[in-house]
Amino acid sequence: MVRAALTVAMVLAWFGVEYRDRPEIRLATCPACGQRQRRASFLVDRESGAWFHHGGAGSDGAPCRGNIFGLIAALAGLDVQREFTRVIELGASIAGVAPDRDPAESARRRDEYQARLAANVRQTAQERAAAEERVPLLWSKLATRHPDTGEPYLAGRGIDPAELRARGDVVRYRPDGAPCVLLHSFDGRPVNVIARQIDREPKILSLDIRRTLGRHEVRGSHSTIGTLVGCVSDLDTTGGGLDVAVLVEGVTDSIAAVLAFPGCVVLGANGWYRMAEIAAAVAPRIVKARGWLLVAADDDEQGVAGASDALRVAVDAGLVLRKSVRAIELGVHKDLAEAWRAGWRWTWPDDGVASGGAS
């Protein structure tokens, strides 16, 4: 009877949790581990109450997940297995099928939840800061060469490892050969190492904060917000320095862009949905420098969406489409790395209006 009367909206309202009320309910904060992201990305099924946070970690190190009773337990700070009777009783109160529903008790539980949430946010920030301080050391321990696997992989993608090394400390390698690049925060700090795994899933893998800190039970995580390879602060706003930024998606395209756009600042997005964030961060500097922003789009629905959002944000910030912000034309190629391997090379338009890419 309790389960039949409960809805996700009732549970979230009881605890005062803000959410996006759409066909898929999205939360900005994981109810179990307290991790918060700028995008409301923790999904709760409206009908079943099932929820899942792949990046979170419970006390056993497994992803945060559960059903509607697990959601209640997480928000109330209860153990859904050891205190299941209390969870059911609380669910009955939320659904209005318990005789002792008390508005004062509802307010008290909401206050308790907000206090736990604030504590989780503080802990998350502290753990993230501690982990990110170790990123430069972790980067320094990675190999600069991997002739057995990593370098042949890049060469097979049309990226000359020797030429890449000549451009600086761009790529390092895990013991298995996976090429890695640094992720920088928008203020220029190295905050993560992103690997492009070879022949295994997931293709893109970032640092695990549990391994970084050497602790099993942590609530924080390494940031995944920022720029791959280059830094926003590399753009020179005083004149005479670097004034062209190249915005691409993913590790391999970021590496390819280092070769394809010498003398430019490469700002790789760690996912298509991060492209607009980067454009918003760098566009004001480009306006001040009177420079350029070049945006590459992968030839798929998400890639086009990410690039389109980035172009729109850049224009809103004061750049002018096809004059100071321009899409990189890749022709028939699916992404920049494939285009580079096929012999595509960027040429600047000579009329300020025509398309920029050239084969």
Judgement on whether residues 101 and 156 belong to the same structural domain of the protein: no
Judgement on whether residues 118 and 148 belong to the same structural domain of the protein: no
Q: Does pLDDT of 185 surpass 60?
A: yes
Cis status, amide bond into 202, omega within 30 of 0:
yes
Tokens, residue 57: 């970690």
Residue 206: what pLDDT?
94
| Residue 50 or 156, more confident | 156
Asked if residue 256 lies in contact with residue 157, where contact means CB atoms within 8 angstroms, the answer is: yes
Integer Cα distance of 10 and 26 in angstroms: 15
Judgement on whether residues 65 and 183 belong to the same structural domain of the protein: no
Q: What is the mean pLDDT of residues 222-240?
A: 93
Residue 211: what pLDDT?
94
Residue 113: what pLDDT?
65
Q: What is the average pLDDT value for the chain, to the nearest integer?
A: 87
DSSP string, 197-264: -SSSSSSEE---HHHHHT-S---------SEEES-GGGS-SSSSS--EEEEEESHHHHHHHHHHSTTS
Integer Cα distance of 317 and 311 in angstroms: 10
**62-108, pLDDT tens digit by residue?**
567 889 999 999 888 899 889 999 999 888 888 877 665 566 766 77
Judgement on whether residues 127 and 150 belong to the same structural domain of the protein: no
Judgement on whether residues 200 and 245 belong to the same structural domain of the protein: yes
Judgement on whether residues 182 and 304 belong to the same structural domain of the protein: yes
- Domain hosting residue 32, numbered range: 2-131
Q: What is the mean pLDDT of residues 130-134?
A: 97
Question: Considering the entire predicted model, what is its pTM?
Answer: 0.76
Asked if residue 335 lies in contact with residue 298, where contact means CB atoms within 8 angstroms, the answer is: yes
- Domain-terminating residue out of 103, 131, 159: 131
| Beta strand extents in 158-209 (DSSP E only) | 172-173, 179-184, 190-196, 204-205
Judgement on whether residues 107 and 217 belong to the same structural domain of the protein: no
- Domain-terminating residue out of 99, 131, 163: 131
Asked if residue 221 lies in contact with residue 190, where contact means CB atoms within 8 angstroms, the answer is: no
Judgement on whether residues 220 and 341 belong to the same structural domain of the protein: yes
**200-212, pLDDT tens digit by residue?**
988 999 999 999 9
Residue 59: what pLDDT?
44
Judgement on whether residues 181 and 238 belong to the same structural domain of the protein: yes
List the single range of 26-35, 101-110, 278-287 with lowest mean pLDDT.
Answer: 101-110
CB neighbour list of residue 165: distance below 8 Å, 6 or more residues apart: 144
Judgement on whether residues 119 and 155 belong to the same structural domain of the protein: no
Judgement on whether residues 293 and 340 belong to the same structural domain of the protein: yes
Which residues, listed in sequence order, are joined to residue 26 by a DSSP beta bridge? Answer: 20, 43
User: What burial class does residue 262 get, using C-beta atoms within 10 Å of its C-beta: 0-12 exposed, 13-18 middle, 19+ buried?
Assistant: exposed
Integer Cα distance of 282 and 186 in angstroms: 9
**CATH for 349:** 3.40.1360.10
**Gyration radius of the chain's alpha carbons:** 24
Integer Cα distance of 16 and 106 in angstroms: 10
Q: For the chain, what is the domain count?
A: 2
Long-range own/partner contacts, residues 110-117 (CB < 8 A, 24 or more apart): 110/14, 110/15, 110/16, 112/76, 112/77, 113/15, 113/16, 113/17, 113/75, 113/76, 113/77, 114/16, 116/34, 116/77, 117/29, 117/34
- Domain-terminating residue out of 131, 151, 184: 131
- Cα angle at 24 between 20 and 30, to 5 degrees? 65
Judgement on whether residues 112 and 145 belong to the same structural domain of the protein: no
Q: Does pLDDT of 55 surpass 60?
A: no
Phi, psi of 327 (to 5 degrees): -80, 140
Q: Does pLDDT of 289 surpass 80?
A: yes
